[in-house]
Structure 1
Amino acid sequence: MNALVKRVWFALAATLIVSLAAVALPDRIQIDDEGRIHLGAPAPTPFLSTAAPTPESTSPPLTREDVDEVIRTAVSAAGLDPAQGRPTVAAGANSNRTGWMAVREKPAAQSEMKAICADLERRGWVLNPNGDSADASRSYERGGWYLLVSTRGKTQAPSNALSDSQTYLTMTGLQVNLSDIPLPEITIRMR
């Protein structure tokens, strides 16, 4: 009986891990309707249970300075002065990360986030359709960079940093090249 319980827990844990990975990397991990998991190169036949991966952006690679300028421009397009906030990564500290944040009143932060997102979309940033919340966060991709625009509240900040009516408005940029991560094609059948 103890061995059976261990097998069940292992199967549940493996399913959860693979399911989360499939959401994060839909072009690298796929689960078909029969429970088979494919890692690495896409399987030769399409699966009904997974959404087709979005094509990679063909825009030229961006530098950190380019992304810093995109952030300043988008913040300005939302009617904010970029100097009202602060950078989340020091200039020159890391060439593949950048960001900006400001403390805002909650109702204003929602409309400012929408204005920032609209500006990014006008400038050719591609919206990630998976896992975003229109009112809390949206992520975009372009030129090898990912930008997350979010309003995050008091629960993720020190208790004395924000009043009940305030939240953080943040833009976080991260340069990630998932094609540099080699994954062999592996098929696992779970029953």
Structure 2
Amino acid sequence: MPSEPSRRPSAAEVAAAGGRTIPDLVGPGLRVLFSGINPSLYSAATGHHFARPGNRFWPALHRSGFTPRQLHPSEQAELPALGLGITNVVARATARADELSPAELIAGGRVLAALAAEWKPRYLAVLGVTAYRTAFARRRATIGPQDDTVGGVPVWVLPNPSGLNAHFQIDDLAREFAALRAA
């Protein structure tokens, strides 16, 4: 039975969430560790990854077959039992990912590599090709499987599921997620 979605934060609560962090959702035996770029202010205000209305992570996760039903962000704790985890390249919440400096992304990439090395998921899925290029100095990276590893873990770059990423519609995102799932 789905849990009750948490209440929506007020505009003041969202505005006050700048700089906050959300705990990683990790554990042993993960098939995929999904890494967002960084939490939105909305996510930081709720304490749930990919919580902002309009973010397509949860629908893409379900439509690609990773979850048996579409989970609400407040149900994120169900993911490890499915072999899935969530983290971010940069832990600090911002209104937009373009507020992050290249230095923050590079430093966050080092932290992400250590996290991947510690938990050893089957795949690390970075959601955002531009952030991946910057964080790991891979200027020519494209969406899909990468030739290198991060923390010894194979990497698959997925499109950023933010509603601000108009290049990828939900069906496109689900296809990209499904390609990772098939691997």
Structure holding more strand per residue: 1
> Rg bigger for which structure?
1
TM-score after normalising by structure 2: 0.28
TM-score after normalising by structure 1: 0.27
Structure holding more helix per residue: 2
